[in-house]
Chains A and B, each alone.
Chain A
Amino acid sequence: MKITLKVWRQKNNNTPGKLVEYQLDNVSEDMSFLEMFDVLNDSLTRKGEEPVAFDHDCREGICGMCSMYINGRAHGPQTGATTCQLHMRSFSDGDTIVVEPWRARAFPVIKDLMVDRAAFDRVIQAGGYVSVNTGSARDANEILIPRTIADEAMDAAACIGCGACVAACKNASAMLFVSAKVSQLAILPQGKAEHVERAERMVAQMDAEGFGACSFTGACSVECPKSISLDHIARLNREYLGAKLTSDNVQ
């Protein structure tokens, strides 16, 4: 396959970037999208041009590190898959592919296709946990959790924190990400004790990070590689409203 790539190149956060065109003549349809980038970088290096920086690690769709905005879609044309799970057979010979980093104020570009997603870590630090110290747990089977509840919690917990939801959202809202964690812990009995504070604190942190507002258009859920459902956003809204009515109103 012959592929034309238009790739966002940006030296660092203080320098403006631009799309640069590259031609690849020998792309196999069995290659993964990131392997195609390996081939590009190999040829750039041999020519003495600096390779494209991009985030990636597990290359099997679970670590959440890869983050390319491909032809206007987070993680590319396939649904329910990350960039690393995308293969070149999803494209045709002669295609032009535009590749950009995630675009969101809360995810500043570090270089080329890499962005800084530390905001997600700070949102989790604001309350995405159950306060239990090591060693103070009771026997695991003393907490009965019906299978349907466990399944629902697992659906939410499947989030890989890649940020595709933010990238896909016209407002760069992080509601799907935040709701997945709030929802998981709100559904499970272990998370009940702190559920009021958690919703409030995590939403406050989300706002402080500069993520946009949610207008519930659902693009996030469609582009989510783990297909996290919008139901969780509804639950977060309920949790948050309940918290605001009953709590000390954390700022």
Chain B
Amino acid sequence: MKLESKIPAGPLAEKWARQKFGLKLVNPANKRKYDIIVVGTGLAGASAAASLAELGYNVKAFCFQDSPRRAHSIAAQGGINAAKNYQNDGDSVFRLFYDTIKGGDYRAREGNVYRLAEVSVNIIDQCVAQGVPFAREYGGLLANRSFGGAQVSRTFYARGQTGQQLLLGAYSALSRQVANGKVKLYTRTEMLDLVVEGGKARGIVTRNLITGKIESHAGHAVLLCTGGYGNVFYLSTNAMGSNVTAAWRAHKKGALFANPCFTQIHPTCIPVSGHYQSKLTLMSESLRNDGRVWVPKKQEDSLRIREGKIKPTDLPEDARDYFLERRYPSFGNLVPRDVASRNAKYVCDEGRGVAKTGLAVYLDFADAIKRDGRKTIEAKYGNLFEMYEKITGENPYELPMMIYPAVHYTMGGLWVDYNLMTTIPGCYALGEANFSDHGANRLGASALMQGLADGYFVIPYTVGDYLATIGPADKIAVDSPVFKEAEKKVHDTVQQLLSIKGDRPVDDFHRDLGHIMWEYCGMSRNAEGLKIAKQKIQQLKKDFWTNVKVLGDSEEINQALEQASRVADFIELGELMVDDALNREESCGGHFREEHQTEDGEALRDDENFTYVAAWEYQGENQPELLNKEVLEFENVKLTQRSYK
């Protein structure tokens, strides 16, 4: 398949303006003749649904939660970047663009990333107008902070709940359109298939999670704003319900899936405490500004700590290894997420980890408390320390915190062109569900920015071009055979899951899949391990379809059934991630192949052979997927090696 990014020619700074001018417009009186389906109501989905309804389109918005306000964007803590340069510290659209491209280890498109930086300033204006209570200075101006190692202060925030406030802003705009009758809301409704006919997306098939009813919804365009797939690892910082199902079913209908192996592991999460663990909780990255990361130098000491014979505070300075400060003298504890995570894994692999499981490292505030006083530390991190104590039962003012990396975000996703359209005409992917802006690694405070950029400021322009091209009459009724066929298939799959009546609950399989992915396709990967993973996943898939145990029936609430259908898709995606990781014979960003590292153990890119987007094409059940390449061209930045020494 030939992949056309559709990025217009011309200077970087003019591309988006040129594109907007080149896109066709829909006559205002005609907009009401178009129906648009939006799946997911997080930042991307809610902002898109509201903005399109404001323009006059008829929107149907779907979410599996009981309210659009629950989407997982709500859990984002840190902030949102924007190139406002309110602080006069040298920020600009170009600098935000440059930082994002470089942070992504040169595996994202220049054109997309520049547009993201460009519209970032409008996002802040929009959110403030909605009443989002961003942090302010005493004089009433907006406050900023530097985040995730950025050299400028460009991050806007609302305490530690920025995602919540931005989502509630978008949710309020969405609610206003529901009241206006321009958006019809379907809560507790899950998309289970994309309907494609005549080479175009025609609608979706959903299951009502309360009644179990399988229904079709027709539209002129379908927008998938369904988030990332971090839960393929079972344990992640994602919400329990976050899943890949909508994106995966679209993939099986012809939407290419790009760079699935690009996942982000966040270094500062609360460690796993036992087998029953259901999710991992992120501790804000800002803790690394004052905390020092260490493990015992000697394995024996780690063992004594793990057995509870000594406390970490009993260990003298010279018996501790502040490994980040040792290896990266200039960045120290503030190295990027991927570097910090990988190093924590290494010391734990060496048997020097702490906690009962041996899978944790210390984040110690003793020096900071000595230096600045407890009051200062309390003022900065009080709520985080409290949260830590609530979860672990330990007081971080007295004992060092324990942290371990956890899966946090997925950069890969459905392949989209500059207009956010997937390889299925009429089917779009927005926010974390697409692959487009973060390359191989996402910078802090950029996820919220991308979700809202796509929904508020990109899709309202680009979707019109497609709609104007096809015309309002180009729509298929829900009682046509293609919808009935899709409904039947969904129905059959649901019944199949219920009829297996095996021995093992769904979570068992999900947990097994998570172990495989984390072990072989997690923080660092190698060819041998990936091949083992592939075999294990194939075996797991067979076991799942012969031995999963789902009780109850399909005509009522059945949470195990919902989960089974999601886990089935995660298993298939897991295999593709492994294929992608195996194919990418280089290390870049969050993707670290052990065979490809510098002499001192840093990620080694292969720009000559891998400066491309790997977009995978579904070939049918149990068939290997076909690799398509979109070569990335860099005209404005020079590819360099990241160095944090």
CB distance from A184 to the nearest CB of B (A): 7
Bound CA–CA A204/B448 (angstroms)? 34
Q: Is the CB of B133 within 8 A of A150?
A: yes
Residue of chain B at shortest CB distance from A123:
B175
Q: Is the CB of B125 within 8 A of A58?
A: no
Q: Is the CB of A87 within 8 A of B391?
A: yes
Contact with A along B210-239 (1 / 0, CB 8 A): 100000000000000000000000000001
Q: Is the CB of A38 within 8 A of B278?
A: yes
B390 contacts the other chain (CB 8 A): yes
B21 contacts the other chain (CB 8 A): no
| Chain B residues near A63 (CB-CB < 8 A) | 65, 70, 72, 74-75, 239
Q: Is the CB of A57 within 8 A of B557?
A: no
Segment touching A, from B46-54, B297-305, B320-328, B484-492: B46-54
Q: Is the CB of B505 within 8 A of A62?
A: no
Q: Is the CB of A64 within 8 A of B69?
A: yes
Q: Is the CB of A30 within 8 A of B393?
A: yes
| Chain B residues near A136 (CB-CB < 8 A) | 129
Bound CA–CA A64/B129 (angstroms)? 25
Q: Is the CB of B125 within 8 A of A139?
A: yes
Q: Which of B66, B137, B390 has the most A CB atoms < 10 Å from its CB? A: B66
CB distance from A226 to the nearest CB of B (A): 9
Bound CA–CA A110/B210 (angstroms)? 8
Q: Which of A64, A137, A161 has the most B CB atoms < 10 Å from its CB? A: A137
Segment touching A, from B31-39, B147-155, B159-167: B159-167
A9 contacts the other chain (CB 8 A): no
Segment touching A, from B100-108, B138-146, B248-256: B138-146
Q: Is the CB of B393 within 8 A of A89?
A: yes
CB distance from A22 to the nearest CB of B (A): 16
B559 contacts the other chain (CB 8 A): yes
CB-CB under 8 A for A140 and B125, given A30-B273, A32-B278: yes
| Chain A residues near B178 (CB-CB < 8 A) | 121, 125
Segment touching A, from B5-13, B548-556, B568-576: B548-556
CB distance from B392 to the nearest CB of A (A): 8
Q: Is the CB of B274 within 8 A of A30?
A: yes
Residue of chain B at shortest CB distance from A190:
B131
B86 contacts the other chain (CB 8 A): yes
> A110's contact among B68, B70, B273, B557, by CB below 8 Å, is which?
B557
Contact with B along A87-122 (1 / 0, CB 8 A): 101000000000000000000001100101110110
Q: Is the CB of B165 within 8 A of A51?
A: no
Q: Is the CB of A28 within 8 A of B239?
A: no
Q: Is the CB of A144 within 8 A of B140?
A: yes
CB distance from A174 to the nearest CB of B (A): 14
B-side interface residues, number (CB < 8 Å): 80
Q: Is the CB of B176 within 8 A of A62?
A: no
> B138's contact among A11, A64, A146, A160, by CB below 8 Å, is which?
A146
B513 contacts the other chain (CB 8 A): no
A251 contacts the other chain (CB 8 A): no
A-side interface residues, number (CB < 8 Å): 81
CB distance from A67 to the nearest CB of B (A): 9
CB-CB under 8 A for A145 and B74, given A30-B273, A87-B390, A129-B173: no
A35 contacts the other chain (CB 8 A): yes
| Chain A residues near B134 (CB-CB < 8 A) | 140, 150
B29 contacts the other chain (CB 8 A): no
Q: Is the CB of A118 within 8 A of B161?
A: no
Residue of chain B at shortest CB distance from A201:
B179
Q: Is the CB of B171 within 8 A of A50?
A: no
A154 contacts the other chain (CB 8 A): yes
Q: Is the CB of B172 within 8 A of A114?
A: no
| Chain B residues near A191 (CB-CB < 8 A) | 131
| Chain B residues near A146 (CB-CB < 8 A) | 136, 138-140
B277 contacts the other chain (CB 8 A): yes
| Chain B residues near A39 (CB-CB < 8 A) | 276
| Chain A residues near B460 (CB-CB < 8 A) | 134
Bound CA–CA A93/B59 (angstroms)? 52
| Chain A residues near B173 (CB-CB < 8 A) | 129, 132, 134
Q: Is the CB of B126 within 8 A of A137?
A: yes
Q: Is the CB of B136 within 8 A of A145?
A: yes
| Chain A residues near B457 (CB-CB < 8 A) | 134-135
| Chain B residues near A129 (CB-CB < 8 A) | 130-131, 172-173, 175-176
CB-CB under 8 A for A161 and B67, given A45-B549, A129-B173: yes
Bound CA–CA A153/B133 (angstroms)? 6
Q: Is the CB of A185 within 8 A of B70?
A: no
> B129's contact among A42, A45, A190, by CB below 8 Å, is which?
A190
CB distance from B549 to the nearest CB of A (A): 6
Bound CA–CA A192/B344 (angstroms)? 50
The 6 A-B pairs with the shortest beta carbon distances in the complex, nearest first, are: A144-B140, A137-B129, A129-B172, A137-B125, A150-B136, A140-B128
Q: Beyond A41-B560, A128-B172, A135-B457: 19 further Cβ-contacts under 8 Å? A: A12-B556, A39-B276, A58-B72, A58-B240, A60-B281, A62-B164, A63-B65, A111-B557, A121-B187, A124-B175, A128-B175, A132-B173, A134-B173, A134-B456, A137-B125, A138-B125, A144-B141, A147-B140, A151-B133
* 9 A–B contacts from the bound complex (CB under 8 Å): A41-B560, A58-B75, A128-B172, A129-B131, A134-B456, A136-B129, A147-B135, A154-B165, A185-B131
